[in-house]
Structure 1
Amino acid sequence: MAPDRRAATIKDVAAAAGVGVATVSRVLSGTGSVSPATRERVQAAARELDYRPSALGRGLKLRRTGSLGLVLPDVTDPFCAEFTAGVLDCARTLGEHVIVDVSHDDPAREAEIVERFAGQRVDGIIAVPSGDAAGWRAASAVGLPVVFAGRVLDDLPAVPAVLCDDRAGVRAAVDYLVGLGHRRPAFLGGPAPGTAVEVRERAFRDTVAELGAVLDEDLVVRARSGRDSAYAAAAGLFQRRPDVTAVLAAGHVPGEAAVLVAREFDLRVPADVSIVMVDDVPWAELCDPPLTVVSRPARELGYRACEVLRRRPATVGRTPPVVLPAELVVRGSCSPPTGMPGAPPRSSRAR
């Protein structure tokens, strides 16, 4: 059998017709001014090469379809669920419907979703991007409006974004722990939807240094994505450092792991270890004691991202992001370390 012939591209058509790519695009999209002779030459070359333009290559019609695309890393994550609710609330007021798809933070899958949304002629896309700019460049090239939420891509500074001030939230949490007397706070980090992975750890390190506390590298632990990895990271931290008095969990998955491991190690919260968690998920307030958290306004983030998309200015250049505040919500999971005024008596720490 003969090998499959490579699919023709718009560049192949341009070369065969002896014109530029922009001219081919105008001919195939039916927009712009092209002479009859050039149009006939381009169409003949496209037929000869059996050129089949992609959804992105065909471009978007000017008419509105009343639909928006929403790209999420994980639809089951509580943050993403609240974020989606915010997008839907806003879209409903605007008379739009929303098409949702999940990238699992896979750039290739994300690019396929963008291509499919373009083919469905959505009026724009709201996305928590994976971190790869390739698929989004293609969207920008055909004028598909895009708004990023939670993350920005340095390679695409012109794409509007709505962000949460994660750095300020982490700073508030570290300041609170150090203020209670925890001189060597621990950091349990890992990937989290709606933020760049390194933002929270960098904020933790900077704040510990600024407050004159001790940055102990042995107390900075990173977990990969998933509950098993977070549990292993938390267990390793408590086993390796039985002297740890406070933990800042950089998301609700490592926060859940910290609570479970502390319970299995017979550590009382907050008598033996104080815990602060980023993200105010429903179970945080149901813990005994309820967890102190850095609350990020996921629902408002989604609502505002939808608003920005619909009001996106037709300008080129860097657009300042909309930044929403994070709030430290103090509950019962933190106290001064043993030996300080106000500290509860410490239990024997079983191993």
Structure 2
Amino acid sequence: MTESPSQRRPTILDVARAAGVSRAAVSKVIRDAYGVSPAMRERVLAAIEELDYRPSAAARGLRGSSYTIGMELPHLTNPFLTEIADGARQALLGTPYHLVVAPAAGPERGAIEALVDHRVDGIIAISPLVQPDWLEELALRVPLVMVGIHDDAASYDTVVGDDVEGARQVMGHLLGLGHRRIAHLTEGEEVTAARSTPHALRLQSYLECMREAGLERHVRVVHVKNEQDEARDATLALLREPDRPSAVFAAHDSLAIGALAAISESGLTASDVAVVGYDNIALAGHPLISLTSVDQSGRSLGQQAVAMIRERLEGRADARRFMAQPRLVVRSSSAAAAASVEESSGRARRRTPHRADASTGVSPTR
């Protein structure tokens, strides 16, 4: 007894019959190849959806493509990274490609190698500690886009935010509010001391802005692991110091939320200690959090990374860089410095110079 299409897994031939086209035409649509009219593509995609057709990954691999894009994430605890992954997922909707996420459970290079072993067609990675020479060699074998790494790459693409400008927007905002004792809460020294990582550039900009404002004696850099609890503990220690900071610039929002928890537990408010984060994750806009933060649109970064991978798959060979422009979103976590501090700040409270007009990219929100 022969099974009907509804009783077994549909095949490419079933799709071709339902769409009224040849198997070759269905294959072209699946591969997103040239030479397919919009009308034919629409019929084939409709038949694929109706039949719930899913090509075998093994068969696709044997034909030279797995139709999967691999994405390596250093960890899953930072909501900004999941926003980037979600942007990549959204960009692949309606295409024959699927996203495979590999969290790094140890050295980031291991997760990338696992994706290569699974024969993905391209890799998007967020690996600040992987050596560029190794990445250059890898990019000769598989299309590669690095997110958040300011490398001058020859063989792979990079998608970054303008971390220097973003950090200067933060510092200009805090200095303009009269703050002098501004602490910088950032990740471990292995990250900030690495090559051009976002956190290295944000730290560099913080130090430059403090120096330009004549506030070198108030520089305070605190390194923590990438965890809210450790950021909370570090901030509690800062608040116990006799000359506690009046503001905290956190290198990303998860650290900023840990700092806000410490300030609340200490019975203080934004009027006592201002906090500014970076990444503008969804939680930052919650009315009970209301965190001032730099928005660099994580989902847009993920979408851009997918676009560049697909360009590579279509034959582009030259290395390219995409840089997103940051925008400071001002909320209630960053209040003006107390009057006593503001009065004593004198000449040092002048606004830090920006590479663009100070009003550019700063927008108040509810």
- Asked if these proteins are the same fold (TM beyond 0.5), I'd say yes
Aligned residue among 163, 168, 171 for 2:168: 171
Q: Which amino acid aligns with 2:135?
A: W
Q: How far did residue 241 of structure 1 move?
A: 4.3
In the superposition, relative to structure 1, how do residues 147 and 342 fare at CA in structure 2: closer, same or farther (>3 Å)?
Answer: same
Q: How far did residue 300 of structure 1 move?
A: 0.3
Q: How far did residue 137 of structure 1 move?
A: 4.6
Partner of 2:114: 116
In the superposition, relative to structure 1, how do residues 260 and 116 fare at CA in structure 2: closer, same or farther (>3 Å)?
Answer: closer
Q: How far did residue 288 of structure 1 move?
A: 4.1
Measure the CA separation in 2 of the matches of 1:183 and 1:219.
Answer: 11
In the superposition, relative to structure 1, how do residues 268 and 75 fare at CA in structure 2: closer, same or farther (>3 Å)?
Answer: closer
The superposition leaves residues 16-38 of structure 1 with CA deviations (integer Å, 9 ceiling, x where unpaired) of xxxxxxxxxxxxxxxxxxxxxxx
Query: For the Cα contact (< 8 Å) 1:190–1:230, is it kept in 2?
Result: no
In the superposition, relative to structure 1, how do residues 61 and 124 fare at CA in structure 2: closer, same or farther (>3 Å)?
Answer: farther
Partner of 1:248: 249
The superposition leaves residues 115-134 of structure 1 with CA deviations (integer Å, 9 ceiling, x where unpaired) of 33233321111111242236
Tell me how large the CA RMSD over aligned residues is. 2.8
Q: Which amino acid aligns with 2:259?
A: A
Measure the CA separation in 1 of the matches of 2:118 and 2:103.
Answer: 16
The superposition leaves residues 324-349 of structure 1 with CA deviations (integer Å, 9 ceiling, x where unpaired) of 01110011122221227999xxxxxx
Partner of 1:149: 147
Measure the CA separation in 2 of the matches of 1:76 and 1:225.
Answer: 8
Moved more, 65-74 or 229-238: 229-238
Aligned residue among 159, 162, 165 for 1:162: 159
**Structure 2 stretches of 5 or more lacking a match?**
1-60, 344-366
Q: Does 1:79 align with 2:80?
A: yes
- Over the matched positions of the two proteins, sequence identity in percent amounts to 27
Partner of 1:308: 308
In the superposition, relative to structure 1, how do residues 240 and 122 fare at CA in structure 2: closer, same or farther (>3 Å)?
Answer: same
Measure the CA separation in 2 of the matches of 1:276 and 1:86.
Answer: 24
Measure the CA separation in 1 of the matches of 2:90 and 2:80.
Answer: 15
Measure the CA separation in 2 of the matches of 1:201 and 1:145.
Answer: 31
SS in 2 for 1:328: strand
Q: How far did residue 219 of structure 1 move?
A: 2.3
Partner of 1:238: 239
Partner of 2:285: 285
* 1:324-343 map, 5 Å: 324-339=324-339
TM-score (norm 1): 0.70
Measure the CA separation in 1 of the matches of 2:149 and 2:63.
Answer: 28
Q: How far did residue 247 of structure 1 move?
A: 1.3
Partner of 1:70: 71
Q: How far did residue 272 of structure 1 move?
A: 1.1
Query: For the Cα contact (< 8 Å) 1:219–1:237, is it kept in 2?
Result: no
**Structure 1 stretches of 5 or more lacking a match?**
1-59, 344-351
Partner of 2:200: 198
Partner of 1:139: 138
Aligned residue among 178, 184, 188 for 1:181: 178
Measure the CA separation in 2 of the matches of 1:276 and 1:99.
Answer: 33
Q: How far did residue 218 of structure 1 move?
A: 5.4
Query: For the Cα contact (< 8 Å) 2:233–2:262, is it kept in 1?
Result: no
Aligned residue among 209, 223, 228 for 2:211: 209
Measure the CA separation in 1 of the matches of 2:342 and 2:179.
Answer: 13
Moved more, 168-177 or 128-137: 128-137
Q: How many residues matched? A: 275
TM-score (norm 2): 0.68
Aligned residue among 106, 122, 125 for 2:123: 125
Q: Which amino acid aligns with 2:142?
A: L
Query: For the Cα contact (< 8 Å) 1:234–1:254, is it kept in 2?
Result: no
Q: How far did residue 213 of structure 1 move?
A: 4.2
Query: For the Cα contact (< 8 Å) 1:184–1:215, is it kept in 2?
Result: no
Measure the CA separation in 1 of the matches of 2:298 and 2:199.
Answer: 17
SS in 1 for 2:72: strand
Partner of 2:268: 267
Partner of 2:10: none
Q: Which amino acid aligns with 1:162?
A: V
SS in 2 for 1:122: coil
In the superposition, relative to structure 1, how do residues 172 and 61 fare at CA in structure 2: closer, same or farther (>3 Å)?
Answer: farther
